[in-house]
Structure 1
């Protein structure tokens, strides 16, 4: 009888073991994070290779389909084009951008000092502030703002230079990723089939079909949205460069690159790109800064009303509310990358959710 009473307590032993293991994991969380970080670092060439292969898959498929070339020749043509563009960027564009950043870093203290003097003079001219004795408070507040903005810009530019220097040390990883990407592209059907087998092996049939459907829809939207947005941003960046040259704004190449990259982010991108462009030009000339602001606003209106719809159409099928929500959630969770990738992911989730709702309504013979 006493044995029967003791046996139920044995059921707690697995729970105690699990609790003990979890306790040890929590205490050694730094160790597991260290392993994960190192594992990601080791696998980074493979991850980059997958990203490269994914981006090059659409143009490769286009060449295969329209020019009736074999897979190997299609990959060779795409790689020759990419290597050519990369070589031009590294040898011609990149040195000028780095020189612009270094020159801006060197001149930044002078720009801040000039701005400080100009603001102080304008405040002094406003006799009304003196009458109420608030001039010192306004000057102090503005000086703090200028100092903070200067420190912020300085830290950003220093980080950019640091990344540019680190980039040169990752050339080997990039070359390795490009080589691995060839095998992803060459045998993509084999990899896709293997992934499908894994999904069907781990999940039940209905759930596996749902996962594959989600992946297919995500792939369709991603490929259309990313390539379309990339082409759109390249055109906007090129037009911005020409416009800034006409305005004679300083660091035209650097500023147009910032505007082009920021344009990849829907809705908020134009504002993100305009802020540093106007702020940097303001140090050189307030009049030019106004022209730069007007030009970028006009350029973004042209993009939003004509160029964007012409290239992208209605690829994502989301209303402005859902796009803004996707950007906020994506940006809050994953930063700038999340702001960009959040839109197509939200589009897929919404499309599948709408499909599920419509299926449920049809099952109940409800028409709305």
Structure 2
């Protein structure tokens, strides 16, 4: 009895402590949120470094496989990992530099042309309103302007000031990025260390899991992590390949049809293609606006062109390159993007699909296992029934 009473007392004390902790958190939620925000601000660069390392590892692993194949030289073997890391970082830095070199000059040119063309657009709109008076006699231009309280000179001046202010804001945003230099350094250091010591880190996590988890829980956790790693790796690889293909199609097609800003729009389209479902729509809207700064009629033809390219991409390229790699049906991909974007914003657009793919694979495997067990139980029951009937 004493042993049972002791266990009951410990259980009561345990739940009382849990209730006390929850009550403290609820009553002081402002302080708790502040502490959690501080912890997240400190840990976010470190976590971002591990995420960056996971992405870089996809490229580094492929480079490392082809370095010093078949060598038995210990120095070359030790040099393989550092050299693979350096080559990976160089490729990433070169890719980012090329993208910025393609986008920034043409973006500045597009903004300048837009600002210069604003007065012409307002003059055209003003003439259009005046011509309406000839087509519709009941329409009175002066009365409409008076009722609307429009002053063309004031409106044009305000829009031009806004555009100039927008350019200055973009410059200040770029300049403010230097304040994040420390976080970028932390992310880079953590990612390089994680890449260099990934086998050691994995071994340490395995040891911790085996010590603190039961054999069954450890096996389940290992399986979940393996499926998650497979889903994210396949998704990232597929999306990168698909983005390069789609961006190249847009750029080459625009160059063939002599649309302006071909390299810039193609680069933007490829980058935004990394956002499933909605990225292509955003890039089409941006491209149409940029082309419109040169010619309104060309912008119409550009929209027709981009719709055709997107149909080819969504019906042929995406299912083959990405769809097959993640194993997620189209309807669930759309739901994952919608829910992920609604909950986590831009981050949700990126991680929603691989997370949904992981859940889908785990659930499918569990359903198949349970169905198999039910089939075995049903078969055993039939055998028992047949045995009873025969006896």
Deviations along 1:300-334, whole A, 9 cap, x unmatched?
A: 12322443345336012122211111111111101
User: Are the equivalent residues in 1 in contact too, given 2:102–2:264 (CA < 8 A)?
Assistant: no
Q: Structure 2 CA distance, aligned partners of 1:199 and 1:156?
A: 52
Q: Distance between the aligned counterparts of 1:198 and 1:32, measured in 2?
A: 29
Tell me the equivalent position of 2:235.
225
- Pick the aligned partner of 2:24 from 11, 21, 25: 21
Give, in angstroms, the shift of residue 187 of structure 1: 0.9
The one of 263, 270, 274 aligned to 1:260: 270
Q: Is the 8 A contact 1:233 1:260 kept in 2?
A: yes
- CA 1:261–1:197: 2 relative to 1, 3 Å: same
Provide the C-alpha distance between the structure 1 equivalents of 2:105 and 2:260, rounded to a whole number of angstroms: 12
Partner of 2:7: none
1:38 matched residue in structure 2 = 38
Structure-2 separation of matches of 1:267 and 1:125: 46
- Which aligned pairs between 1:36-185 and structure 2 lie closer than 5 A? 36-67=36-67, 68=69, 70-89=80-99, 92-93=101-102, 95-96=104-105, 99-100=108-109, 102-103=111-112, 106-107=115-116, 109-110=118-119, 113=122, 116-117=125-126, 120=129, 127=136, 163-185=173-195
Distance 1:211 1:244 in 2: 49
* TM-score, reference length from structure 1: 0.76
Whether 1:362 and 2:365 are equivalent positions in the alignment is no
Tell me by how many angstroms 1:107 deviates: 4.7
Whole-angstrom distance in 2 between the partners of 1:124 and 1:266: 48
Alignment: residue pair count: 342
Question: What SS does structure 1 have at the residue aligned with 2:48?
Answer: helix
> Comparing 297-306 with 101-110, which one deviates more in the overlay?
101-110
Note closer, same or farther for the CA distance 1:289–1:360 as it changes in structure 2 (3 Å cut): same
Q: Deviations over 1:149-205 (max 9, x none)?
A: x89x97998876554333344345334422332210111112122233344445443
| RMSD of equivalent CA atoms | 4.0
Does residue 269 (structure 1) correspond to residue 269 (structure 2)? The answer is no
Quick check: 1:101–1:157 contact (8 Å CA) kept in 2?
no
- Conservation of the 8 A alpha-carbon contact between 1:105 and 1:157: no
Q: Quick one: which of 299, 321, 325 aligns to 1:289?
A: 299
Tell me the distance in 1 between the aligned counterparts of 2:119 and 2:301. Answer: 22
The answer for the alignment partner of 1:4 in structure 2 is: none
Shift of 1:56: 1.4
For structure 2, which runs of at least 5 residues remain unmatched after alignment?
Answer: 1-11, 70-76, 149-155, 379-391
Assess, with a 3 A threshold, how the Cα gap between structure 1 residues 93 and 213 changes in structure 2: closer, same or farther. Answer: same
Deviations 1:76-115 (A, max 9, x none): 322232233344445x335415524653674585476367
Q: Secondary structure at the match of 1:365?
A: helix
Structure 1 unaligned residues grouped into runs of 5+: 1-9, 141-146
